Structures are given as C-alpha cells and as structure tokens.
Chain A
C-alpha cells in the first residue's frame, strides 16, 4: 500500500526506514484512518522523527497525492546552492555584501515572489530573474526551465496543509549535525582519577573487611573523570561569514559536551593580536598576554578559521585589519606564542584543503597542524590533541 509514497519520501530525503514503514502499515491495518487528513497526521507521526523534516514530508505529500511537480524542486536546489559556503566564496566582495544584506528567509521570500511574477508574466518561460547584476539570484546561472507552480488551491484539506509548508523554517539540511560533532569530540578525553574519593571500591572494601575480621571497612576511590580542558578560539571575521552556521554547530557541540573538565572560548578577527574577545561582536576584550598567563599549558587548543588574510595582516606590526588595534606584535608572532605556550594545538579550517594554497594559510599551516572542518578532519584533529608528548 502506498509504496510509491515511501519512495517519494525517500527521494525527498526524509530519512525513513523499513521499520517505520512497517509500523505505518500496522497502523493502517488496524483501521486507524478514515480520510486523507488523518492519514497525513498518522503517517507524519510515525515516519518523520524531527520537525526539521516536516517540510520535506509536506513536499513529498503534495507531490504524491496531487501528482504534480511542485515549485519546491527549484527552491530546494537553490537552497542547496545558497547554503553551500563554497558558492558564496566564489562571489566577489560586492556580491557577497548584497547577499549578506538580506537574511536567508528574506532571500527566499524575494525569490518566491519573483518566481511567481515570472510565471504570471511569461507562461512557462525558459529563464527567470536575469536582471543583470542587480538580482541576488543572478549569479547562479541556473535555468529551471518550464517548471510549473502549484498555485491553485482546491483538492483536499490535507494537501492544503501540506501546501502551507508551515515547517519550512525548521528545515536544516545539515552537512554535519551537532550530534555527529559531539560524537567526534567524545574522543577528546583522558580519563584519570581526580577529585574527591566518592566511589565505593567494592573489591577492596570486601578485602579490607575480611582482614578486619568482619568489621566493616569502607574503601573509597576517586572516580574516573575526564581531565581534558578545551580552549576554543574562533575566527568570526568577514570571510568566515559563509561558515557561520558550521562554526556555530561546532561551538554548540563543544559547549554542550559535558565531559570536559573546563571549556573556554574566545573570538578573534582574521588573526590573533593583542586582544581576544569574549563575544562575537568583539566588545569584551581580554588581553592575549593575560590569557597566556592564566591558562595552563595543558589546555587543548582548537583554533577555527580560514587562515586567509592579506599577508601584512599576519606578518607586520600594525597589520591588523582594524587600524585602531595598532598591534605592536605581528599576528604571526602571537600565533607562535600560542604554539609555544600550549602543548597541544590544532587549527580547524572550514575551507576545503583544495583552497589552502594561499600564502597566509601556508604560513599558518607551518605552525599548526591543520585539519578540515569535516567529521574525518575533526577525528584526526582529536587524535592529534590527545597524543602524549
């Protein structure tokens, strides 16, 4: 029954398996539903396990039960294009500014509006929005020709619900999800017996009690705890904007991982100079020298950044991108201080290694072992951080 729907869902990237499908079949065979509305909710409750996929489900539902191609096809592909940071990197500064002036939802809304206008004006026209340079959508060079827009209502209620696509904002289309990053960070632990003696050592208690002629003798031990302290330093400069989401995932994974003994984080822009900042807006400054004094060398240091900047920013006195920083010490020397102070440092780069052939990236790579911000890269970085030196 409805096997086509199963494959439609799969094609729409709703993560479903046979287990869920069989559950749905079981529910259907029990005579749960009498109309399509009920089917909509029943199938959603059983098949979809995160509100992030409610929208995918809505799209698939429309498609299967209405039998027409939906406009979602375009938005989805464009969404993918928009969300892929590499695409943004290929834009010029100007274009990127245009991009950043709208938030994502705004962009989508605008896109939809224009799409609609376009079909109304040229019926089934071959291209769209080609308004030479002024349109934020122009540079994709993408021509979704002849796609129909499922505008007219009618049909049954459930399809209308699906058509509203109220859960669009919950979509995530994540490259890496927080859980995966957390799993990767779990490798970052060195268990040692520290803290108060709060664990009853049963074996030794029994032994001691026997020796004590049956008089109870409790033996306590320290419980094993993770001794790893993590220091996360993140670049939040302009060229990092395309990766903001990825970086915030890394941050929330590290932040919510409860297994670190201590977790500190600071922000910087392009390179580290005299100050580091406690907030993304870079208002609350902390002097780098002060941090190096108060943080013990056994902190595991993870720097996140694209390592890409103008060469003087890295190598020259007063090279900082903000002239008012007036850094007496060149960024490169600051980085060197960090490498020399802490025993374990890695640099995580959200940009693909293919693009690392850039003078400042190469210079920084000489100082820090550099890894890509992917699951594999993170795994390797974690290994690097826990080797004994």
Chain B
C-alpha cells in the first residue's frame, strides 16, 4: 500500500491475528510518528497488539501500566530526594551530583533508548482526568526538561507509542486530536476461528465449531454485566480440551461456564435461565 519504504512496516506477528484496517492504522502511526490510540471491548487484544508490534518489528517493548494514582510526571522522571538526603548524612556518594538521583520513568527510558522502541501506555483512562493533557507536550515534542539538573531529554528515536483505553469519552479533545485512533471490533466468527487456531493449532474442527457456536450464543444475551470475550473463550477452550469434553455436549451443557462468565450475577443469571429451560 505504501510506495516509499523508508520506515519499518508492520505486517503482523505469527501469534496475533490482525485485521487489515488495524494493520493499516499501525503503519500510518509508524510513518506519521503519532501515538496510536486503541479502544475496544475488554479482551479484544488491545494490549497484545503492542506486544505483537514489538515482536513483528523486532523492537524492544516498554510498558507503562497506568493506575489511578499514576502521575504524568512519574513517566518522565522521579527525583529521589530521600536517597539524596540519606547520602548527605551517611556519605557514600557525591551529593552535589544531582544527576544520580534522577531516575527516568518509562517515557524517559523510551526517549533515551539507543534504538527505537515500542512504548505501550496501558489503560490511560484509569488515571486522573488531567493525565493525558499533562503528557501532550512530551508526546508531541518527544522531549522534556529536568529543572533539577538543567537538562533536556530528547528522544534519540521517536518511540512507537501505543495507548490503550477502555472508557468512553474520557479523553480530552486536545489529546485526541494528536492521535491516530482505531476501535477494535469484536471479531466475527471467521476471524475468531483464526484466532483460536493460533492458540490451538491442533484443535479438532467439530470442537472448534461447537464451542464458537455456544460462545456467540452466550454473547447474544444482553443481560450480562460482562459479556465473555476472546480471552475467556481461549481459557474455556483450554478447559474443554483438558477436560476431554465430547463436542456434542458443548452447546447443550456449556461445561465450565465459570471460565466464560466472571461475574457472580452473570453466573447466577445464566444458571437460572438454563435451569428454566431444562425444566420447562
């Protein structure tokens, strides 16, 4: 699709099935050097995408897991004042050299890396509302300033930034404007077959067919708090194979349903519904 080949092109990795539009979005991201924002239902492989990109391009992956308490500053650097205070009392190191008390965060590490890396900022929506805005400038300029040492850290190679998010409408517009966006749709059953085969290359056809049938039927029930997704399906099939369940029992009984339905209320609901069916 691209005529000039002056950048690394991503064409997937053997353990990750990728749709054509997503592959294109990844390549646009790499060529335009913008962050790629990935959204989609839980379990559609948002986080795995970054792993796959790193693997496919042979680059190092740096993961920055965001929690509700994460501050943007932590991604850049942390100034370890307590250590410095300690050293000033007990000696050991030269406390006038502030540089050794500056520890680079994940973003900082990605910047100073001697070669291009893939940086995954995972679940950005978990952090404080202002978090994405605080990173705007750093992601755009790919550099930041450390006042303590009067130093500017600039990226040697702009990292390939992949950002994942679960929540809807949570990210500020200014941030969104700078991203390439892709929404991972829930895979249809053809794509799902491929995905399952990546995990279980030797799976029997009838087992695959029956389990997918039961799986998509479950997903049609709208009343579940959390619908089963790909990762649950994989776990379930693993359980089915390990348990040696004959394929003709899968649809009718749905054994090990606990691996598919993680919420107690969903499980209860399912049992009640199935129960009703079999008694009347």
Contacts and interface: CB of A to CB of B under 8 A. Distances in A.
A30 interface: yes
B86 A216 contact: yes
- SS class, residues of chain B in contact with chain A: mixed
Contacts of A42: 24, 28
A179 B173 CA distance: 11
Question: Max chain A CB contacts within 10 Å: which of B20, B24, B170?
Answer: B24
Interface in B73-91: 81-82, 85-86, 89
Given A174-B169, A205-B85, A19 B177 contact: yes
Interface residues of B, number: 37
A32 B176 CA distance: 22
Nearest to B86: A216
Contacts of B168: 50, 52, 172, 178
A95 interface: no
A311 interface: no
A33 B4 CA distance: 11
Contact of B2 (A32, A45, A166): A32
Nearest to A215: B89
Interface in A25-77: 26-27, 30-34, 38, 41-42, 44-46, 48-52, 54
Interface stretch (B142-150, B180-188, B204-212): B180-188
Interface stretch (B29-37, B51-59, B114-122): B29-37
B190 to A, nearest CB: 15
B189 interface: no
Taking each of B20, B37, B177, which has the highest tally of chain A beta carbons within 10 Å of its own beta carbon? B177
A214 interface: yes
A318 B3 CA distance: 78
Contacts of A30: 2, 4, 31-32
B1 interface: yes
A90 interface: no
A380 B65 CA distance: 37
A49 B24 contact: no
B31 A183 contact: no
A31 B170 contact: no
B262 interface: no
B31 A32 contact: yes
A51 B4 contact: no
A200 interface: yes
Contacts of A50: 39, 168-169, 176, 181, 183
Interface string A179-191: 1001100100000
A49 B181 contact: yes
Nearest to A50: B169
Contacts of A215: 89
A209 B82 CA distance: 12
Given A178-B168, A200-B82, A27 B177 contact: no
A51 B39 contact: yes
A32 B169 contact: no
Contact of A46 (B1, B3, B28, B167): B28
Interface string B160-178: 0000000111111100111
Contacts of A166: 185
A30 B7 CA distance: 11
Contact of B129 (A20, A41, A45, A179): A179
A23 interface: yes
A38 B1 contact: yes
Considering the complex of A and B, which 6 residue pairs feature the smallest CB-CB distances, nearest first? A51-B183, A49-B176, A45-B25, A41-B21, A31-B3, A19-B177
9 contacts: A17-B177, A19-B178, A27-B31, A32-B31, A45-B25, A49-B181, A50-B168, A170-B183, A216-B89
Interface of B: 1-4, 20-21, 24-25, 28, 31-32, 34, 37, 39, 68, 81-82, 85-86, 89, 129, 167-173, 176-183, 185
Interface of A: 15, 17, 19-20, 23, 26-27, 30-34, 38, 41-42, 44-46, 48-52, 54, 166-167, 170, 172, 174, 177-179, 182-183, 186, 200, 202, 205-206, 209, 214-216, 256, 258
